[in-house]
Amino acid sequence: MNGIATTFSYLDLNPYHSSYGSTITIPVFWDSYYLAKKTAMITAVGARYTGNSAVKIACVGIANAYSDDWYVPHTSTNITNWRSVGYTSQKLIDSCDAIIDAVMAAFPNQVVVAAINPNGKLDNTADYASSTVVTNERAKWGSRFVVAKNSLFAKTPLAPSSGSWSVLYNARPDVAGQMLWFCYGDTTYRMNGGVPADPATVLTNSINTGLSYGMKYIEIYQPDVINLPAVISYAHSKL
């Protein structure tokens, strides 16, 4: 299939990204050429790895402008620019459903994990798109579809909270998380909202918050896995 995808450009305003301050160009999520190419790639990867007994989880990037996390740029400028390329909530939802379904088909022996986030004022409500995708995919795939949040830290409010954290909570029992950052050796104390604190305590608090949401799996950064073994053992005992 020959062609070219419609693209969207935005200014990266996340200071933790290597591209901070730069303009990033991505394919429009619902572009048919892009979806066809992405689906073909997923099918090929699944054919190679779904039969590998070591592969237990397939993570899928949906609505992802940076990394595999859900991130749809939604400043006022971004919203205007999305409208100019034909954005509707339904187009985004349909594209997410199509990609998740493709991964489910390609990896029938695995559970499939997708992260969610809000879209600000891009949709009727900030969490409309992600909550709709969760509802759609859980109805089709049941416990094989796992909902995740990739921004767990010590200052995350305890469950049930609100917003996308509430969406995650309502998707129990098949929910998971990823730490926002690492604790050990981080002089910015990002995992504690910038407040200096003992790394082991911060990580433990973050794990306990994840447990309040019923998380069955939490991804922890390697520096913490290596240097905070007692907390890692605690996590394994609870998850």
How crowded is residue 73: how many other Cβ atoms within 10 Å of its Cβ?
22
- pLDDT at 212 > cutoff 60: yes
Q: Round the average pLDDT of the chain to a whole number and report it.
A: 97
Which pLDDT score is estimated for 188?
96
Decide: 138 and 166 in contact? Cβ < 8 Å.
no
Decide: 50 and 110 in contact? Cβ < 8 Å.
yes
Which pLDDT score is estimated for 46?
98
Question: What is the mean pLDDT of the segment spanning 35-48?
Answer: 97
Q: Is 52 helix (H, G, I), strand (E, B) or coil?
A: coil
Which pLDDT score is estimated for 2?
67
- pLDDT at 7 > cutoff 70: yes
How crowded is residue 2: how many other Cβ atoms within 10 Å of its Cβ?
4
pTM of the predicted structure, to 2 decimals: 0.94
- pLDDT at 35 > cutoff 90: yes
Question: What is the mean pLDDT of the segment spanning 68-94?
Answer: 97
pLDDT band with cut points at 50, 70 and 90 for residue 1 = low
Partners of 177 in the beta sheet?
149, 218
**Which residue type, as a one-letter code, is found at position 188?**
T
pLDDT band with cut points at 50, 70 and 90 for residue 194 = very high
Which pLDDT score is estimated for 3?
81
pLDDT band with cut points at 50, 70 and 90 for residue 197 = very high
What does each C-alpha distance from 154 to 52, 67, 179 come to in angstroms?
Answer: 36, 22, 9
Q: Which helix (H) or strand (E) holds 33?
A: helix 32-49
